[in-house]
Amino acid sequence: MSISRRSFFSKLGKSAAYLAVLSSIPSIAWAKWNLKAFTAPNLDAAIKINYGDLPVIDSDLVNLKAPAIAENGAVVPITVESKLPNTKSISIFVPDNPGPLVAKFNLGPSSVAKIKTRIRMGKTSEVIALVEADGKLHRARQAVKVTIGGCGG
Amino acid sequence: MKIRVKAKEKNGIVAAKLLIKHPMETGRRKDKDGNLIPSKHLTTVTLDYKGETVFDAHMGTGVSKDPYISISFTGVKGESFEVNAADNTGETAKKTVKIK
């Protein structure tokens, strides 16, 4: 046997320490902010960069609340609620904005899958909410008419 | 950058309202001399409670100026959580909030 008793125990100790370090890392690996996803020129590219090739299905369990007419495109209140179990993330897209991805919210196990925020819309467009749950993208959409655009320039 | 947070607990659910003072410049706007104003916008906002990330938002320029986010999570009155925000120029802000 080439391995001595002493080196065996020393290795065992080291690997135990290694395991302890590994298990102290949070169980969810949070992705870093992704510039590419936010500068993608169109909706399909933005979805693909964010979620890869996950299938997209329309769902009644995703509730998207947005005004039918927004007088000021600079501030459009949006509420997205997911009634799906295991909701991992909620993202908001505006296809006609210069960068279609507005925001992506990654949710931990203790959070309630309901987000309220305010977004910008350059012109009249659809607002799309995608909820990632159980390896699928659940979609809800609504058209918002914008009277004054809010993207400047 | 300044973070303002209100957090209220009811029936075990904490409703947190985050308001972050930030210009959210898109980089497409011009000043009065016709020069482009460089982009300066928030990239990430995270909420940590009891050593766990409850919520991690990634955003671009499509979020309105002075971003507002409302989020709920299970929590206990009197305990506190931490909100961290960072923008694309490297500026960061941090706020510890007590749940009311």
CATH number of the domain residue B65 falls in: 2.60.40.10
**Phi/psi at A126 (5° precision):** -90, 150
How high is the pLDDT of residue A8? 67
Burial of A52 from C-beta contacts in 10 A (0-12 / 13-18 / 19+): exposed
Q: Locate A86 and state its tokens.
A: 């295991």
Check CB contact of B1 with chain A, cutoff 8 Å: no
Per the domain annotation, does B46 fall within a domain?
yes
CB contact under 8 A, A116 and B68: yes
What mean pLDDT do residues A11-30 have? Answer: 56
Per the domain annotation, does B34 fall within a domain?
no
Nearest CA in chain A to B28: A153
Contact predicate B59/B45, CB 8 Å: yes
Which residues fall within 8 angstroms of residue A9, CB to CB, at 6 or more apart? none
Q: Where are the domains of chain A?
A: 35-148
Contact predicate B97/B19, CB 8 Å: no
Check CB contact of A57 with chain B, cutoff 8 Å: no
Per the domain annotation, does B56 fall within a domain?
yes
Per the domain annotation, does B85 fall within a domain?
yes
For residue A84, is pLDDT > 70? yes
Which residues fall within 8 angstroms of residue A152, CB to CB, at 6 or more apart? B26, B28, B29
- Which pLDDT band, with edges at 50, 70 and 90, does A25 fall under? very low
Check CB contact of A41 with chain B, cutoff 8 Å: no
CB contact under 8 A, B60 and A38: yes
For residue B79, is pLDDT > 90? yes
What mean pLDDT do residues A31-42 have? Answer: 80
For residue A12, is pLDDT > 80? no
* Bridge-based pairing state of the strands A69-72 and A136-148: parallel
A114 Cα distance to chain centroid: 13
Per the domain annotation, does B33 fall within a domain?
no
Contact predicate B67/B20, CB 8 Å: yes
Check CB contact of B44 with chain A, cutoff 8 Å: yes
Check CB contact of B62 with chain A, cutoff 8 Å: yes
Q: Of the spans A17-26, A37-46, B65-74, which averages the highest pLDDT?
A: B65-74
What mean pLDDT do residues A70-98 have? Answer: 90
More confident residue, B60 or A117: A117
B interface test, pick of A115, A117, A132, A151 with most B CB neighbours within 10 Å:
A117
What mean pLDDT do residues B26-39 have? Answer: 84
Give the one of A30, A33, A103 whose C-beta lies nearest to B62's C-beta.
A103
What mean pLDDT do residues B62-68 have? Answer: 91
Tell me which residue range forms the domain holding B70: 2-26+39-98
For residue A13, is pLDDT > 80? no
How high is the pLDDT of residue A46? 86
Class of domain A35-148: mainly beta
Q: Is B50 left (phi over 0), alpha (psi -120 to 50) or beta?
A: left
pLDDT tens-place string over residues A106-152: 998 888 989 999 999 988 999 999 999 988 899 999 999 998 766 65
